[in-house]
A and B are shown apart, each in its own frame.
Chain A
Amino acid sequence: MKPLLEVRDVCLSYHSISGETSALSHISFDLMPGEFLAIVGPSGCGKSTLLNLICGLLKAEQGTILMEGQPVSAGNARIGYMLQKDHLLEWRSVYKNVLLGLEIRKEVTPEKLAFIDEMLSTYGLDKFRDAHPSELSGGMRQRAALIRTLALKPDLLLLDEPFSALDYQTRLNVSDDIGKILQKANKPAILVTHDISEAISMASRVIILSARPATIQKIVPIQLEIEDRTPLSSRNAPNFKSYFNLIWKELNKNV
């Protein structure tokens, strides 16, 4: 099987007047279709930078990033990006917020609108179509943000700590929700997080980055001994803890 995304020997430095800081150094990995990848690493190691590179917002100084053999570029509709906060716009209704991506791409077609309606009812937001975002709970807001991203039907989803702004209980529920949604749609995704449990519970492989300049320290394939794996049930898998300890030890080598 051909990989969906190929990241080859990517390097990037930040430049400022006081000097140059190397952020990413020789990062290479593949993402297979339908695969859920998690990237963990110490804070400030350049995890988000890596996502910005993959979706084309930043350009690598060295190396290539290919999506199905083509170099990625900014404004790529095939890659959906979920930011840390939901960033729902207060001056728009929930429905209008969800429509934002389609408006920008001028793709407001009856089929896409029907697709949005379907998602709104599936994720329990159809009652809140005309509500203001401030009337939604944290979990509902994050789901609305997901619908906004999925409305463009991306082939790959980038998740930049999308649950970090939520309280713990909501966080578990929303990550379970979103994990199931992506599982069902068989959408490949890359999740950046600093939460080891979250990474193990959602991903099929975990990439551990070292401290800055970030290199790939280890790639851990996750095979949990459990049936009907969901993010929440994963946490009950017998070997969950051993994966946790393994990643924890790797991360602590950096300190």
Chain B
Amino acid sequence: MSEPSYAQKQYLLQKKHEKQFVSLARILVFLCFIGLWEVTARLGVIDSFIFSSPSQIAVTFWNMCMDQSLFTHIGITLTETLLSFFFVVILGIGTAVLLWACPRLSRITEPYLVVLNSLPKSALAPLLIVWLGANERTIVVAGMSVAIFGSVINLYTGFQEVDPEKLKLIDTLGGGKKDELLKIVLPSSIPLILSIMKVNIGLCLVGVIIGEFIGARQGLGYLIIYGSQTFKLTWVLMSIVILCIIATVLYGILNLIEKKYLKRI
């Protein structure tokens, strides 16, 4: 490769500076926010009983890490989220394949799917608690209920958009519905599946927290509700911060898998 020209170097340098500035500004915003929060809480500008403060959150975090109770809560919420995500993936793809394979079934069930998808799923949570009991199973189901209908609809729509000429190719080679599915529909839908799953992991977390609000003795959702009822708002805020981190990490992992896959093809 030849040496890039002066103009090209200037351009790259400018891009680099722009990127550095944005990263720096982001960190600055974060530090200002934390600093302002801490200072105003200490000076009594805001009521630290309601708003807590970064240092209180850090101390609580440290204490709960020490007695290990925090790990149980995080572990439970994380397990429930991953379980419900796993079932959403399996059931979502399974149902979408079924609908794709029987167009008549999909036409019959379409209005029901649309209604279930637009229903605010948090309304179902109390019902689930009564039906299934206040246990982990219920919370996993609550997590699934938020994500499943949307995934089925989106996956099915994606399956239908597969180039009909490609399906005809399978027919001309003597293949049937099964070959169409395995050789064309599923492989061509992998990018779609990955992008839908990226959204779903967050939705599952939402559902699990809703479930924990009303029917749990453990987990971050329980911690939030318990904290707010006993006015331990430091607990609530700490849990929210941890949830932010969990959501970001889970999304990041799926994003990485998606990027890896798209790069490969």
Contacts and interface: CB of A to CB of B under 8 A. Distances in A.
Interface size class of B (residues with CB under 8 A): 10 to 19
Given A83-B168, A84-B165, 18 more contacts: A57-B168, A74-B171, A83-B169, A83-B172, A87-B165, A87-B166, A89-B166, A89-B183, A89-B184, A89-B187, A91-B188, A101-B174, A103-B183, A104-B174, A104-B175, A105-B173, A148-B173, A152-B174
Interface of B: 163, 165-166, 168-176, 179, 183-184, 187-188, 190, 265
What is the interface of chain A mostly: helix, strand, loop, or mixed?
loop
Given A83-B165, A132-B265, A91 B173 contact: no
Contact of B174 (A76, A84, A89): A76
Contacts of B175: 75, 104
Given A89-B187, A91-B187, A104-B179, A81 B265 contact: no
A70 to B, nearest CB: 16
Nearest to B178: A104
A74 B174 CA distance: 7
Nearest to B261: A91
Interface string A50-94: 000001010000000000000000111100110111010111100
A73 B250 CA distance: 51
A224 interface: no
A80 B171 CA distance: 11
A84 B165 CA distance: 9
9 contacts: A84-B165, A87-B166, A87-B169, A91-B188, A91-B190, A91-B265, A100-B183, A105-B174, A152-B174
| 9 residue pairs, one from A and one from B, having the closest CB atoms | A81-B172, A75-B174, A104-B175, A101-B173, A87-B169, A91-B187, A104-B179, A104-B173, A87-B166
B75 to A, nearest CB: 37
A210 B166 CA distance: 29
